[in-house]
């Protein structure tokens, strides 16, 4: 039996990777994937706790998160395509139209 | 006929005309604007005439005067103070209404011809009707507050009409000047109203009169203060010393306006107000003496300025000021009916003088300088004869209108004790000056040779000369309404309002001698003018050259405008510019706003850097914030800190 802390550690590592990727990577698609990574890291900890406490609530939450992530992926990818059509680039630091 | 005289209609009809022309006039054809503008005063005049006929016993019912009509809706109803929209018809307001609507209607007709080619035709007539509305409210008002409404309203109409040619700076300035000087007078009037309210608890004229009647011993004191305050108001409106300065400048307005507002009706409102409140003045000999002195001084002062003016309308303006001085003199010696009599005849001949002058100006293509006129007798025969009648009337020649009324005032002054003799003498000398400057105007304008090549003489439309003829007939024969034994017909008619005084009824040869003397003075004035301006036309210039000092003082109007500018206008402007504008407005208020705005801007500039628009920096701050919260929860010292700050971390609600 693998102890609980390992799952949590994996979840934390994945989440930190997601945050780092989000902050560091320039490509918008990679940034987007980093967000997915963070969401799934959280999903992992949800499932872990659900298993630990024998509470089904945590697992239901995971389905909600996946659903939102799917919707977000659909909308997000559409936005990314639209941005690329206009700007001919996917570098986040050049997509700064909202700046003063 | 149910016996009602429909007094409410008298002001309401011109107001309807004002609304129609004022709101829709821009889009209406000229003939329709003119028709509306003429119908309103005509209908109003008809209502007044019907009332007059009823009063004289012609008609189905004879109302008992004073006849009061009150609007069913109360105006002010608080505590003990109760003020209604009440209109009062008595002998005094009837005479005044006949003048206002009658002469007003005639001048409306004249204006159709005179203003025919002006832009803003509709605007002119809307203002003119508005003026009639307020003037009739002023005259009919049964309490001092309603009178004050009319009083302010005519001031407004006067301002609008003086500045009618609003693109002309001098006209706009003259409008301001009239408005501001009148405000000073109105301030006095308003203080008088408050004093009345404090002392009598009511503003209704009839109630004040009856309260005074119940206290026969009440003299002077507060009554003097009230009377003097009202006098300040009257002096502002009626252009008396020291507030006369606006009237000559008001000549910037169109000539029919000068005739209607600044000669015949509005400027006599001060006289009307004093007569209307004469029961107050009667209880204060001091205030009456002040009225008389102001009147006599103004009469003489303005007449001397009129001697040397060269603008035809300004001569008439100073003559108006001077004649108003006569009316005040009449009020001051308690000869109220004589003052009203002079008001009536003056309305006739001064309106005629202005309208004739308007015809001359119209014919000369806008030229107002008398030195460039001359010899107009041949090209303007009707105007010439009308003007002659008016000049004889104002000069006080028998049997023209001015003779009777001026004589009545001078006679009353002569009988008014020792001081009255002085007043009479001042008026007597003024009669000479009046006759002189009027004949000077007459010679310069109509006789002699033309002194300039007028571009072409415009023909005078029938609407203009026919009005002049009617007014000329009134100027010739109008004086007879005041003729008769003792008080005269008009005086007897007015006596229920003005009261009867022994001094006025004293008959005998004295009045005849005084009349002959006055006519002799007037004839002397004519003779001097004839010598100077007909027989030896170069003589006036020589006289002016030999008397440089006096001539300069007179032609600069005693430097009164300059004096006022230096003592009142300049310091006020200085205070407004440096204290109120720079220190209070710009430094204090503006500075405070700038400081507050500066603080907001400063912090804004700092916080602005946060909003870089860079997605990753936002995410970075987000992550840092989340990490900080996490740290805060996890580290033991931070939870100690939280307890110390009173923050209770609460998980799950337990």
For A93, nearest residue in chain B (alpha carbons): B614
**Which tokens is B29 given?**
């054809």
Does the pLDDT of residue A9 top 90, yes or no?
yes
Burial (CB < 10 A; 0-12, 13-18, 19+), residue A53, is exposed
Output B197 or B457, whichever has higher pLDDT.
B197
**Which tokens is B52 given?**
């007059």
Q: How many CB atoms lie within 10 A of CB B650?
A: 7
Nearest CB to B616; choose among A23, A98, A99 = A23
pLDDT attached to residue B654 = 45
Min Cα–Cα distance to chain A from B594, Å = 24
Chain A partners within 8 Å of B612 (Cβ): 96, 99
Query: In chain B, how many H helices and how many E strands?
Result: 29, 2
Alpha helices (H) in B333-368, listed in sequence order: 336-363
Alpha helices (H) in B485-538, listed in sequence order: 488-498, 502-505, 509-530
pLDDT attached to residue B500 = 67
Measured CA to CA, the distance from residue B14 to residue B131 in angstroms comes to: 8
- The size of chain B, in residues, is 654
What is the tens place of the pLDDT at every residue in B123-148?
999 999 999 999 999 999 989 999 99
**Full DSSP string of chain A:** ---HHHHHHHHHHHHHHHHHHHHH--BHHHHHHHHHHHHHHHHHHHHHHHHHHT-THHHHHHHHHHHHHHHHHHHHHHHHHHHHHHHS--BGGG--TT--
Min Cα–Cα distance to chain A from B612, Å = 6
Say if residue B75 is preceded by a cis peptide, omega within 30 of 0. no
Nearest CB to B623; choose among A19, A92, A100 = A19
Q: Is B501 helix (H, G, I), strand (E, B) or coil?
A: coil
List residues of chain A with CB under 8 Å from any CB of chain B. Answer: 19, 22-23, 31, 92-93, 95-100
**Which tokens is B336 given?**
């109220």
Measured CA to CA, the distance from residue B101 to residue B14 in angstroms comes to: 10
pLDDT attached to residue B46 = 93
What's the Cα-to-Cα distance from B600 to each of A99, B225, B596, B610, rounded to whole Å?
20, 56, 6, 16
What is the tens place of the pLDDT at every residue in B294-326?
999 999 999 999 888 889 999 999 999 999 999
What's the Cα-to-Cα distance from B547 to each of B371, B429, B541, B555, rounded to whole Å?
20, 20, 10, 12
Does the pLDDT of residue B57 top 80, yes or no?
no
Pairs from B171-179 (Cβ < 8 Å, separation ≥ 24): B171/B252, B171/B253, B173/B249, B174/B246, B174/B249, B174/B250, B174/B251, B174/B252, B174/B253, B175/B252, B175/B253, B177/B245, B177/B246, B177/B249, B178/B246, B178/B247, B178/B249, B178/B250, B179/B155
What is the tens place of the pLDDT at every residue in B343-366?
999 999 999 999 999 888 888 877
What is the tens place of the pLDDT at every residue in B414-442?
888 778 889 999 999 999 999 999 999 99
What's the Cα-to-Cα distance from B179 to each of B155, B185, B243, rounded to whole Å?
7, 10, 12
Measured CA to CA, the distance from residue B158 to residue B596 in angstroms comes to: 45
Chain B partners within 8 Å of A31 (Cβ): 615
Q: Which of A15, A18, A19 to mutate to test the interface with B (most CBs of B within 10 A)?
A: A19
Burial (CB < 10 A; 0-12, 13-18, 19+), residue B597, is exposed
pLDDT attached to residue B391 = 92
Determine how β-strand B67-78 pairs with β-strand B81-89.
antiparallel
Number of CB pairs, chain A paired with chain B, less than 8 A apart: 29
Bridge partners of residue B68, in order along the sequence: B88
* Reported confidence tier of residue B461, pLDDT bands at 50, 70, 90: confident
pLDDT attached to residue B5 = 74
Measured CA to CA, the distance from residue B478 to residue B472 in angstroms comes to: 9
**Which tokens is B147 given?**
């009178």
* Reported confidence tier of residue B508, pLDDT bands at 50, 70, 90: low
Burial (CB < 10 A; 0-12, 13-18, 19+), residue B216, is exposed
pLDDT attached to residue B1 = 39
Does the pLDDT of residue B95 top 80, yes or no?
yes
What is the tens place of the pLDDT at every residue in B203-247?
899 999 999 888 888 887 889 999 999 999 999 999 998 898 999
User: What ipTM was estimated for this complex?
Assistant: 0.77
Question: Quick check: pTM over 0.80?
Answer: no
Report CB contact under 8 Å: B616, A100: no
Q: What structural domains does chain A harbor? A: 4-87 (1.10.287.3510)
Measured CA to CA, the distance from residue B490 to residue B129 in angstroms comes to: 28
């Amino acid at each position: 039996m693998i102890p609980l802390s390992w799952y949590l550690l994996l979840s934390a590592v994945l989440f930190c990777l997601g945050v780092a990727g989000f902050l560091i990577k320039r490509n918008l698609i990679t940034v987007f994937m980093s967000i997915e990574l963070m969401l799934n890291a959280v999903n992992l900890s949800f499932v872990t706790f659900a298993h630990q406490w024998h509470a089904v609530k945590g697992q239901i939450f995971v389905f909600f998160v996946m659903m939102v992530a799917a919707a977000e992926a659909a909308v997000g990818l559409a936005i990314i395509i639209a941005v690329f059509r206009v700007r001919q680039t996917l570098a986040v630091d050049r997509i700064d139209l909202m700046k003063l | 006929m149910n016996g009602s005289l429909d007094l409410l209609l008298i002001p309401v009809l011109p107001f309807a005309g004002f609304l129609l022309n004022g709101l829709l006039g821009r889009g209406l054809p000229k003939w329709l604007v003119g028709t509306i503008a003429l119908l309103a005063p005509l209908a109003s005049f008809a209502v007044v005439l019907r009332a007059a006929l009823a009063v004289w016993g012609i008609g189905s019912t004879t109302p008992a005067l004073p006849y009061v009509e009150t609007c069913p809706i109360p105006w002010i109803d608080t505590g003990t103070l109760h003020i209604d929209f009440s209109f009062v018809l008595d002998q005094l307001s009837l005479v005044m209404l006949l003048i206002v609507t009658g002469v007003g209607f005639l001048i409306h007709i004249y204006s159709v011809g005179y203003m025919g080619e002006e832009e803003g035709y509709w605007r002119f007539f809307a203002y003119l009707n508005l003026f009639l509305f307020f003037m009739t409210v002023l005259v009919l008002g049964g309490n001092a507050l309603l009178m004050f409404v009319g009083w302010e309203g005519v001031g407004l109409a006067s301002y609008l009409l003086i500045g009618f040619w609003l693109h002309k700076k001098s006209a706009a300035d003259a409008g301001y000047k009239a408005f501001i000087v009148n405000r000073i007078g109105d301030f006095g009037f308003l203080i008088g109203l408050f004093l009345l309210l404090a002392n009598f608890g009511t503003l209704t004229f009839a109630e004040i009169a009856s309260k005074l009647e119940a206290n026969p011993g009440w003299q002077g004191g507060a009554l003097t203060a009230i009377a003097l305050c009202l006098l300040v108001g009257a002096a502002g409106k009626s252009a008396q010393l020291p507030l006369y300065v606006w009237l000559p400048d008001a000549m910037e307005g169109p000539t029919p306006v000068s005739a209607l507002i600044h000669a015949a009706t509005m400027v006599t409102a001060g006289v009307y107000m004093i007569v209307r409140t004469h029961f107050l003045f009667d209880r204060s000999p001091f205030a009456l003496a002040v009225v008389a002195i102001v009147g006599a001084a103004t009469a003489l002062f303005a007449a001397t300025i009129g001697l040397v003016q060269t603008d035809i309308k300004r001569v008439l303006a100073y003559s108006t000021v001077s004649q108003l001085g006569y009316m005040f003199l009449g009020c001051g010696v308690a000869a109220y009916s004589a003052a009203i009599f002079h008001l009536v005849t003056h309305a006739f001949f001064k309106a005629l003088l202005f309208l004739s002058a308007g015809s001359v100006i119209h014919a000369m293509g806008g030229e107002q300088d008398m030195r460039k006129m001359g010899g107009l007798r041949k090209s303007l025969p009707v105007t010439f004869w009308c003007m002659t009648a008016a000049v004889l009337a104002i000069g006080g020649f028998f049997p023209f209108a001015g003779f009777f009324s001026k004589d009545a005032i001078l006679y009353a002054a002569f009988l008014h004790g020792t001081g009255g003799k002085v007043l009479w003498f001042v008026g007597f000398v003024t009669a000479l000056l009046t006759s002189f400057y009027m004949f000077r105007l007459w010679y310069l304008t109509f006789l002699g040779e033309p002194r300039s090549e007028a571009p072409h003489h415009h023909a005078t439309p029938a609407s203009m000369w026919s009005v002049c003829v009617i007014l000329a007939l009134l100027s010739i024969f109008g004086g007879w309404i005041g003729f008769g034994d003792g008080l005269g017909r008009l005086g007897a008619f007015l006596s229920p309002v003005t009261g009867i005084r022994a001094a006025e009824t004293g008959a005998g040869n004295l009045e005849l001698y005084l009349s002959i003397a006055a006519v002799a003075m007037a004839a002397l004035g004519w003779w001097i003018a004839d010598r100077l301006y007909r027989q030896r036309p170069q003589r006036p210039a020589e006289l002016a050259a030999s008397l440089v000092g006096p001539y300069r003082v007179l032609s600069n109007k005693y430097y009164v405008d300059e004096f006022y500018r230096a003592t009142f206008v300049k310091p006020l402007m200085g205070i407004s510019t440096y204290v109120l504008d720079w220190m209070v407005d710009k430094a204090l208020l503006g500075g405070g706003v700038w400081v507050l705005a500066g603080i907001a801007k400063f912090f804004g500039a700092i916080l602005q850097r946060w909003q870089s628009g860079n997605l990753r920096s936002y995410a970075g701050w987000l992550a840092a914030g989340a990490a900080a919260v996490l740290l805060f929860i996890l580290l033991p010292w931070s939870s100690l800190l939280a307890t110390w700050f009173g923050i209770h971390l609460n998980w799950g609600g337990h």
